[in-house]
Homo-oligomer: A and B are copies of this chain.
Amino acid sequence: MSFNTFGKIFRFTTWGESHGPAIGCVVDGCPPNINIKEQDIQIELNKRKPGQSKFTSQRKEDDKVQILSGLFEGKTTGTPISLIIYNKDARSRDYETIKNKFRPGHADFTYFKKYGIRDYRGGGRQSARETASRVAAGAIAKKVLESKIGKKFKVIGAVTQLGIIGCDVKKWNDQDIRKNPFFCPDKSFVKLWKKYLLSIRKSGSSCGATIEIRARGVPVGLGAPIYSKLDMDIASAMMSINAVKGVNIGSGMSSAQ
């Protein structure tokens, strides 16, 4: 069995390989009469897009999204919303050299053992490129929440630790996050992180990071008890991202203490 759908009432199904002709998703269960423009989705995709600074993957993609269904005269109709992003940078020849190799830290071997076949071009379906589809679906979810809850509802994320260097989350400033290439909420750390990352890069390595997401104006009672509680749905969504290895809610693991 494979399972490429997330959600229960508002649901999305993602599809597409890193180096296939396109990737995309179908959002089902979106309420009607929500104003959505392609640009609303594009704004979020642009934040995700790699190759924007020398500090990230250098893959070049426009990640230009098109809405193929579910809207009429700028409003959702309650029918499924199909989103497509055509792949530009599908340089699959570059991958010929890894055709017969299983990369560590990737799911190459697992896919091959499980399915007896694998699309070795750029990680195929296991590529982090799949996250573009969920960013697109998330942009729609955001519009729905803003429309239902109102402007007081706001979700914002930032990188709060880069490798061994954490920033000072008490100095978190929403406005700073988009002003540096690291999405750091505390501008006093930008210089240090830059230096640190360049040194790591120089040594031919890379590092992990911690992100923190803050939601404000969330109404009481979102989610449903037990097997659809908000904590569970968040952990679930986060852990389905390739690189995510831990999720904390509130004070998280430190609440043990």
Contacts and interface: CB of A to CB of B under 8 A. Distances in A.
A252 interface: yes
A89 interface: no
A28 B9 contact: no
Interface in A25-62: 26, 28-30, 32-33
A163 B125 CA distance: 41
A246 B245 contact: no
Nearest to A208: B256
Q: Among A14, A113, A117, find the residue whose CB has the most chain B CB atoms closer than 10 A.
A: A117
Interface in A99-120: 107, 109-111, 113-119
A257 B236 CA distance: 23
A185 interface: no
Given A1-B228, A28-B4, A227-B4, A163 B33 contact: no
A147 to B, nearest CB: 13
A contact face: mostly helix, strand, loop, or mixed: mixed
A8 interface: yes
B232 A236 contact: yes
Interface string A185-224: 0000000000000000000000111100000000011001
B239 A235 contact: yes
Report how many copies the assembly holds.
4
A207 B77 CA distance: 31
Interface in A161-176: 161-164
A247 B239 contact: yes
Most central of A2, A69, A235, A255 by chain B CB within 10 Å: A2
Given A69-B17, A256-B209, A224 B119 contact: no
Interface residues on A, range: 35 or more
B210 A256 contact: yes
Contacts of A63: none
A6 interface: yes
Interface string A227-257: 1110110111011100011111111111111
A13 B80 contact: yes
Interface of A: 1-6, 8-9, 13-17, 20-24, 26, 28-30, 32-33, 66, 68-70, 72, 75, 77-82, 84, 107, 109-111, 113-119, 124-126, 130, 161-164, 207-210, 220-221, 224-229, 231-232, 234-236, 238-240, 244-257
5 contacts: A3-B29, A32-B117, A33-B116, A126-B225, A234-B239
